[in-house]
Amino acid sequence: MALAPRLVPNRARDARPVARGFVVARLRIPRVASRRRRPASVPGVARSPTSRESGRSSSRAFSPNAVAGDASGSGVAGEAKRLAVFASGGGSNFRAIHDAIGNGKINGSIELVVSDKASCGATEFASSNGIPCVQYPDKEGGGEDKGLGRLMRALGDQHRVDYVLLAGYLKIVPKEVVRRFERGILNIHPALLPSFGGKGCYGMRVHEMVVESGVRFTGATVHFVNEKYDEGRIVAQACVPVYPADSAADVAARVLKSEHEMYPEVVAALCDGRLRWGEDGKPVVWTAL
């Protein structure tokens, strides 16, 4: 049986940009036999002994066990995390995460898809892969609470979701969900927050603003979700150039490609317990040397 890896965090200044363009910290994880193929892009990753079953993350000082969503630092190493994806559109980020799970890069399973749309690319992909879908908000059938009660039951008792991943979801996630999944909801935004973020900043509109602004770089941001649009703690960013002749569509395609590379890696770290909160309240993706 593989021994639980002892994490020996390096000093914060060891965090340095990597070829992928987003910053990770470095820690020495003794190589342990892993039952599953390690994520190709993060060699030598071992399973961290975490489990969301042990309840919510505490706000205690940083320690090797202070991982997102883990209150005790104990738990069953390697247990696949149960994921819900919220999407409103084509679902390419959803599909990138689904593919990374299938390739063994993410230790998780997508148990539920939530959309404000009765049908979109994401819900069609979910249905064709046997993944249940729930509509929220559901103005027609949801009554006063727009289906909030049904959503909470689906995320809780029915599908026992550990983490929520927003992937092109265009509505505000209600505070009840944000509080239920403290430090357990990620979002990908198609710009370098805090620039070009907030209400009204979504989809192609973001890239139109970027081109109009004349900035020379843009990119994507993965951040934790709080009760406001795009104000949660930033986890990782990927940077791409903006060329003078670029249209908004050119920029959108370049940013989307970087999203498909970055988001699965961050989700893999979240599911492996390698997404850790420092004493300064900033989350960091850790990987092996």
Ligand X SMILES: NCC(=O)N[C@@H]1O[C@H](COP(=O)([O-])[O-])[C@@H](O)[C@H]1O
Ligand Y SMILES: Nc1nc2c(c(=O)[nH]1)N[C@@H](CN(C=O)c1ccc(C(=O)N[C@@H](CCC(=O)O)C(=O)O)cc1)CN2
> What residues act catalytically?
189
User: Exactly one of 97, 225, 255, 288 binds ligand Y (CB under 6 A); which one?
Assistant: 225
Among 207, 214, 277, smallest CA distance to 249 is for: 207
Among 205, 190, 270, 277, smallest CA distance to 237 is for: 190
Among the candidate windows 50-58, 76-84, 154-162, 197-205, which touches ligand Y by CB under 6 A?
197-205
Among 214, 182, 173, smallest CA distance to 195 is for: 214
Cβ-based nearer residue to ligand X, 29 or 110: 110
CA–CA–CA angle 167, 170, 176 (5° rounding)? 90
User: Whole-number minimum distance, CB 190 to ligand Y, in Å?
Assistant: 7
User: Whole-number minimum distance, CB 169 to ligand Y, in Å?
Assistant: 5
Residue 167 contact partner, candidates ligand X, ligand Y, none, CB within 5 to 8 A by sort of partner: ligand X
Q: Does 201 bind ligand Y (CB under 6 A)?
A: yes
Residue 89 contact partner, candidates ligand Y, ligand X, none, CB within 5 to 8 A by sort of partner: ligand X
Cβ-based nearer residue to ligand X, 186 or 288: 186
User: Whole-number minimum distance, CB 241 to ligand X, in Å?
Assistant: 17
User: Whole-number minimum distance, CB 178 to ligand Y, in Å?
Assistant: 5
Distance CA 254, CA 219 (A): 8
CA distances from 105 to 39, 41, 151 (A): 4, 9, 28
Instruction: Locate 226 and state its tokens.
Output: 């709080």
Cβ-based nearer residue to ligand Y, 126 or 225: 225
Cβ-based nearer residue to ligand X, 149 or 203: 203
Q: Does 202 bind ligand Y (CB under 6 A)?
A: yes
Cβ-based nearer residue to ligand X, 88 or 107: 88
Alpha helices in the chain (DSSP H): 92-102, 121-128, 148-153, 175-180, 204-213, 248-272
Residue 232 contact partner, candidates ligand Y, ligand X, none, CB within 5 to 8 A by sort of partner: ligand Y
Cβ-based nearer residue to ligand X, 105 or 189: 189
Among 13, 86, 71, smallest CA distance to 277 is for: 71
Among 189, 18, 29, 184, smallest CA distance to 93 is for: 189
User: Whole-number minimum distance, CB 212 to ligand Y, in Å?
Assistant: 17
Contacts of 17 (CB under 8 A, 6+ apart): 23
Q: Is there a contact between 95 and 58 (Cβ–Cβ < 8 Å)?
A: no
Site of interaction with ligand X (CB under 6 A): 87, 89-93, 167-168, 188-190, 201-203, 206, 256, 259
Question: Which positions from 125 through 184 interact with ligand Y, judged by CB under 6 A?
Answer: 166, 169-173, 178
Among 207, 220, 216, 210, smallest CA distance to 258 is for: 220
Mark 88-110 as b/e (b = at least 16 C-beta within 10 Å): bbbbbbbbbbbebbeeebbbbeb
User: Whole-number minimum distance, CB 85 to ligand Y, in Å?
Assistant: 12
Q: Does 187 bind ligand Y (CB under 6 A)?
A: yes
Q: Does 227 bind ligand Y (CB under 6 A)?
A: yes
Q: Is 81 left (phi over 0), alpha (psi -120 to 50) or beta?
A: beta
Binding site for ligand Y (CB under 6 A): 166, 169-173, 178, 187, 189, 199-202, 225, 227-230, 232
